[in-house]
């Protein structure tokens, strides 16, 4: 039985689509279809029912799925064991998003260097989707990014960064320290948008207002947004990590907005299943990252 056929079966079930599975596996859709047809011939049964664009596992497919998942997992662990016996890496390639690179990575690298003094480190900065591709093709060894739903990946919750409203020193809201979404409906807003579901929750909060928020600047970089607030161009919802120094000096002041309490950016540590567990455990052994 061909392991690639089993891999295609597991991925199609996970993503619910032949096309999506093909994209993740870096294959053409006809190739993925051919692998399923080959597997169905080997098993002498149909694995998927097709209803228009929707696909569902047949009863036989449901019976086979847990065994296919186990086979694929055992294969991945065995492959890792062979490679880990054969060679010891002298360089750890770490992928991360821009925010992690700017604010988390310096301290993470110091932690790793203390534990693995003979190891060299290479940092690759990219978007979460790009990091997923690099991890799948083994261009990087592990990644810090948003959580990725992929059967080939092991994802560990690593760090939660609360999103709060920040105003400049002397702003009327600075003294109160708390407000409602209606209190800021006429304020000049700077919107930092990083494309995650957490930022979509911020947007939805404003939908309760009779009129849209007064967004003067919309940027895709937290440093740009922060500097605009420091220049008194407006106020902004930002992750706490990027403004830690400015809050400590009093240049920026956090304001709790009742409707957005509990919203935080989620950073996960992601590896291929069964690979680089030693490094993951070293990073996780203190309970992930703690903001000092």
- pLDDT tens for the chain, 292 residues: list them: 789 999 999 999 988 889 888 888 888 989 999 999 999 999 999 999 988 778 999 999 999 999 998 888 888 777 766 655 444 468 899 999 988 998 889 988 988 888 888 889 999 999 888 998 899 888 999 999 887 778 888 888 898 889 999 999 999 999 988 999 888 988 999 988 765 555 677 777 877 777 888 889 988 888 999 999 999 999 999 989 899 999 999 999 999 998 888 888 889 999 988 888 888 888 887 545 444 4
In the DSSP assignment, the letter for residue 183 is: G
Rounded to whole angstroms, how far apart are CA atoms 15 and 222?
32
Q: Which pLDDT score is estimated for 291?
A: 44
Provide CB contacts within 8 A for 137, sequence distance 6+. Answer: 26
176, 183, 136: which is closest to 22 by C-alpha? 136
Q: Length of the chain, please? A: 292
Rounded to whole angstroms, how far apart are CA atoms 153 and 148?
8
The CATH class given to the 3-85 domain equals mainly alpha
Q: Which pLDDT score is estimated for 84?
A: 56
Q: Which pLDDT score is estimated for 36?
A: 92
E runs forming strands in the chain: 48-51, 54-57, 91-96, 120-125, 142-145, 153-168, 178-179, 189-192, 215-219, 235-239, 252-257, 264-272
Residues paired with residue 166 on neighbouring β-strands, in sequence order: 236, 254
**Alpha carbon separation from 204 to 1, 97, 181, 259, 266 (Å, rounded):** 49, 24, 11, 10, 18
Rounded to whole angstroms, how far apart are CA atoms 55 and 16?
7
| Domain 161-264, classified CATH 3.40.190.10, yes or no | yes
Rounded to whole angstroms, how far apart are CA atoms 172 and 184?
11
Q: In the CATH scheme, what is the code of domain 89-159+266-284?
A: 3.40.190.10
Provide CB contacts within 8 A for 232, sequence distance 6+. Answer: 168
Q: What are the structural domain ranges in the chain?
A: 3-85, 89-159+266-284, 161-264
Query: Is this prediction's pTM over 0.75?
Result: no
Q: Which pLDDT score is estimated for 89?
A: 62
**Alpha carbon separation from 54 to 7, 15, 37, 103, 104 (Å, rounded):** 20, 11, 17, 42, 41
Rounded to whole angstroms, how far apart are CA atoms 199 and 210?
20
- The reply to whether domains 3-85 and 161-264 share a CATH topology is no
């Amino acid at each position: 039985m061909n392991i690639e056929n089993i891999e295609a079966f597991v991925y199609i079930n996970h993503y619910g689509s032949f096309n999506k599975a093909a994209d993740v596996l870096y294959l053409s859709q006809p190739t993925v279809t051919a692998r399923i047809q080959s597997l169905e011939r080997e098993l002498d049964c149909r694995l998927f029912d097709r209803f228009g664009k929707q696909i569902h596992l047949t009863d036989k497919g449901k019976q086979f799925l847990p065994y296919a998942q186990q086979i694929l997992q055992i294969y991945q662990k065995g492959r890792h064991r062979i490679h880990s016996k054969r060679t010891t890496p002298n360089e750890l390639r770490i992928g991360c998003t821009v925010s992690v690179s700017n604010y988390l990575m310096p301290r993470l690298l110091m932690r790793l260097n203390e534990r693995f003094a003979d190891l060299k480190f290479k940092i690759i900065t990219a978007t979460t989707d790009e990091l997923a591709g690099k991890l799948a093709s083994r261009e990087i060894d592990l990644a810090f990014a948003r959580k990725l739903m992929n059967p080939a990946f092991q994802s560990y919750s690593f760090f939660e960064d609360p999103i709060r409203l920040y105003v400049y020193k002397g702003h009327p809201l600075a003294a109160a320290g708390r407000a409602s979404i209606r209190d800021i409906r006429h304020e000049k807003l700077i919107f930092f948008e990083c494309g995650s579901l957490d930022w979509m929750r911020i947007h939805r909060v404003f939908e309760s207002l009779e009129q849209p928020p007064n967004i003067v600047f919309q940027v895709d970089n937290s440093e740009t947004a922060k500097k605009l607030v420091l220049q008194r161009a407006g106020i902004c919802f930002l992750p706490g990590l990027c403004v830690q120094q400015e809050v400590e000096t009093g240049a920026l002041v956090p304001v709790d907005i009742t409707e957005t309490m509990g919203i935080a950016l989620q950073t996960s540590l992601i590896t291929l299943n069964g690979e680089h567990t030693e490094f993951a455990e070293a990073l996780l052994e203190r309970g992930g990252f703690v903001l000092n």
